[in-house]
Structure 1
Amino acid sequence: MQELNNAAPSMPRLNERAPEFEAPTTHGIRKLSDYEGKWLVLFSHPADFTPVCTTEFVAFSRAHEQFQALNCELLGLSIDSTFSHIAWERNIKEKFGEEIRFPIIADLSMQVARAYGMIQPGASDTSAVRATFIIDPKGVLRAMVYYPMSNGRSIPEFLRLVMALQTSDEHGVATPEGWQPGDKVIVPPPATAAQAAAREAEGYECTDWYFCKKAV
């Protein structure tokens, strides 16, 4: 049993420090500490020169400036070489008219992929699944999403999620399903009976004592 536990893939945990890394990329060596003070979307893909991954990289590239406007950087990863990444980037520019301006980690050793739980033996022992990690300016892992190798991600959802996290941090609130900037947010529910009794008089839009919204 101990051997099985040792062989299990490492999995990062939400609201804890994201695993440190130092790895070669298409923009030179990158470390987690390079992104201190910024949000980071770290995402893995199974392989270069594959059709689903290409659609995702085109979409991430087209949204790159929108992420940067949120003080958020993009960092890709796959278990391919830097030379493969560069050739793929050039192919995307030639065939799809999109220039990839963010770095891509070349994780031939799989050290970063294993630290972040990107290797899922049920899917593949040699390729990273479609995993996405949102890391805050303090290096804390705030969200992670895994997709199967057969299905592409929705990049607008990650933009939305970064904005939702930033709104929650700034205002101390939660966001409802499908929240978009400008929508009302959810006020934390009362923690005591006295607070619950006073809630209706606090000026929020309340459906019940535990479910109140406000504009931000």
Structure 2
Amino acid sequence: MRLGEVFPDFAATTDKGGFDSFHKWIGDEHWAIMFSHPADFTPVCTTELSRAAQLADECVILILQSNSWAFRFASRHVKMIALSCDSAEAHRGWIPDIRSYARIETHKEFPFEIITDSDRKLAKRLDMIDPDELDSAGLPLTARAVFFIDPTKKLRAQILYPATTGRDFHEILRVIDSLQLTAKMPVATPEGWRVGDECMVQPWLPAGDAEQRFGKNSIRTVDLPSGRPYLRFTKPPSTQQ
């Protein structure tokens, strides 16, 4: 898949039953994050899904820096869903372990579904197979893929890790924040950007248009040896202090 292409639609079985259409499951107003993991009842996957569950919980707020707050996935209108090659029954048996490690109360509904892909059809279709990691039967496991899908069902970003490397869900939140900001405004986000930081004016936006959009005195241009004024920083109007 290429960025900007429509993400494939599919039917799936999950620990909570399933759905006939992934596109309908996303809906018309939400973004979606689909993340695969190699296997249930494994150490790295348990830490990952525990963190994902904590971030999805309505009571959890993360402080990324002293003056910048990043709220739960739900506040960003993002739906999360996981996938592995194990069965729905295995998913249901594994969830208590995830709850325990994440210290999520048992009376609360688990915040996202886990797709079962025992025949690996979906993993192969989405190119999520890790050929170097095999299960007990000698079959390849799914890699640690992350797909970011916008409300128009287009793939906006993707990350791919081997089975041996756990993901950072703080970074996944950061990517969502960047994607949602840059979808609305002619800006890009620099290295290490977080909500509340300056972003960068897109190079293709003329100076006059940039001043009109962001304010004449709200753009900071960095002087460079080349003399080219392409490093222009600003804060979007919604984040101006």
Shorter chain as denominator, the TM-score bin is 0.7 to 0.9
- Number of the residue aligned with 2:187: 173
Using the size of structure 1 for normalisation, the TM-score is: 0.85
One-letter amino acid of the counterpart of residue 183, structure 1: D
Aligned-residue offset at 1:97: 3.0
Please list, as runs of the form range in 1=range in 2, the aligned pairs for 1:40-79 lying within 5 A after superposition: 40-65=32-57, 66-79=72-85
Task: Mark the CA change 1:105 to 1:207 in structure 2 (over 3 Å): closer, same or farther.
Answer: same
Contact 2:201 2:210 in 1 (8 A): no
The whole-number CA distance in structure 1 between the counterparts of 2:208 and 2:116 is: 57
The whole-number CA distance in structure 2 between the counterparts of 1:41 and 1:95 is: 22
Aligned-residue offset at 1:173: 1.0
Structure 2: which 5+ runs fail to align? 58-71, 224-228, 237-241
Please list, as runs of the form range in 1=range in 2, the aligned pairs for 1:6-17 lying within 5 A after superposition: 12-17=1-6
Using the size of structure 2 for normalisation, the TM-score is: 0.77
Please list, as runs of the form range in 1=range in 2, the aligned pairs for 1:32-181 lying within 5 A after superposition: 32-33=22-23, 34-36=25-27, 37-65=29-57, 66-94=72-100, 96-98=102-104, 100-124=110-134, 125-181=139-195
- Number of the residue aligned with 2:221: 206
Alignment coverage as a number of residue pairs: 202
Task: Mark the CA change 1:206 to 1:27 in structure 2 (over 3 Å): closer, same or farther.
Answer: same
Contact 1:190 1:196 in 2 (8 A): no
Q: Secondary structure at the match of 2:18?
A: strand
Contact 2:84 2:142 in 1 (8 A): yes
The whole-number CA distance in structure 2 between the counterparts of 1:170 and 1:200 is: 17
Structure 1: which 5+ runs fail to align? 1-11
Aligned-residue offset at 1:35: 0.2
The whole-number CA distance in structure 2 between the counterparts of 1:114 and 1:15 is: 20
Q: Percent identity?
A: 36
